[in-house]
Amino acid sequence: MNNKYALNSITVNGDGNAIGTGNIVNVLKEHHVHHHNNRNGGGGGESDGKGEVGTVLGGLLAIALAIAALSYWFAKYESQVYTVAFIVALLEGAAAFCAIAVTVYVQNYAAAGRNVAILTLAAVLAYTITSAVGDYNPRLTELANQAIGFKEFWCQLNLYGQQSASRHALLASLFVVPGVLLLMPHAIRSVSIDITGASAAMRVLAPLAKLSPARTLVVAGILCFGAVYGHSAAGVDFWAHRFAERVTMLCPAR
């Protein structure tokens, strides 16, 4: 199981990550190919071209740094992130469920429909989190805890490890957690207005309840189903095709 995520120890102790992947050698060749032509030339077009190449390479490096750092951080705290998100999603679903009963009883069907949507999204998020926890290999957390920093963590992962670590980190950061947070004011509204009728005891929550316009519920729905797709077989295949090579620009050549 360990070798599914980490590079073989012989590879690491031999010539580093360059052995067995070829990616580092290729990347370095691509990076230096622009520095050997017309050293004495003064063409402005060449300077502009070098500037554009530098900008592109700088952007790619920034993206690689962000993904590697996020993957490292998430690997260290995956259990805590998913646990908190799951508990919050359950509480949101429970609030919506109780609000459905109250709003149907008082025949406020518009509010009941909104609470049905909240309950549905909270349930889908809770299910997605459960599936993600089962899919996340604890070996990634072990490697993150053993690494000195995110570069060491990232560079010791093979292609499959980088794919899995980055996919989970991005889905949790861009879809799961924001989706749970966007549902929170709607759940608070369910408690403070639909269930208690804006009683004096719950007025303290009224300002938070105002942060629940319908458009945020729509955005939460988009994020929710984005997370579902990302953790499905189709989502895994989608990410694998777009993350087809091991990213080694952060790793020192040995």
* Candidate from 49-58, 143-152, 231-240 with smallest mean pLDDT: 49-58
What are the residues facing 157 on neighbouring strands? 6
Q: Taking the alpha carbons of 87, 123, 130, 180 in that order, is the dihedral positive or negative?
A: negative
The answer to whether 110 and 182 are in contact (CB under 8 A) is no
Question: Who has greater pLDDT, 33 or 181?
Answer: 181
In this predicted structure, the answer to whether residue 121 has a pLDDT above a threshold of 70 is yes
Question: Who has greater pLDDT, 204 or 72?
Answer: 72
Q: What is the CA radius of gyration of the chain?
A: 24
Confidence of residue 214 (pLDDT cuts 50, 70, 90): confident
Instruction: Please report, for the chain, the start and end positions of each structural domain, with discontinuous segments joined by +.
Output: 42-242
Mean pLDDT of the chain: 80
- How much is the pLDDT for 195? 78
Task: Give the whole-angstrom CA distance, residue 235 versus residue 112.
Answer: 33
Q: Smallest Cα–Cα separation from 97: which of 220, 194, 227, 198?
A: 194
Distance of CA 245 to the CA centre of its chain: 19
DSSP codes of every residue in 181-198? HHHHHHHHHIIIIIIT-S
pTM across the whole model: 0.74
Spell 204-232 as b/e; 16+ CB within 10 A means b. Answer: ebeeebeebeeebbeebbebbbbbbebbe
Task: Give the whole-angstrom CA distance, residue 224 versus residue 205.
Answer: 25
Average confidence (pLDDT) over 65-73: 95
Q: Which stretches within the chain are classed as H helix?
A: 9-13, 23-32, 44-105, 109-135, 138-146, 150-155, 159-171, 177-189, 206-209, 214-230, 233-242
Kindly state the tokens that stand for 226.
């984005």
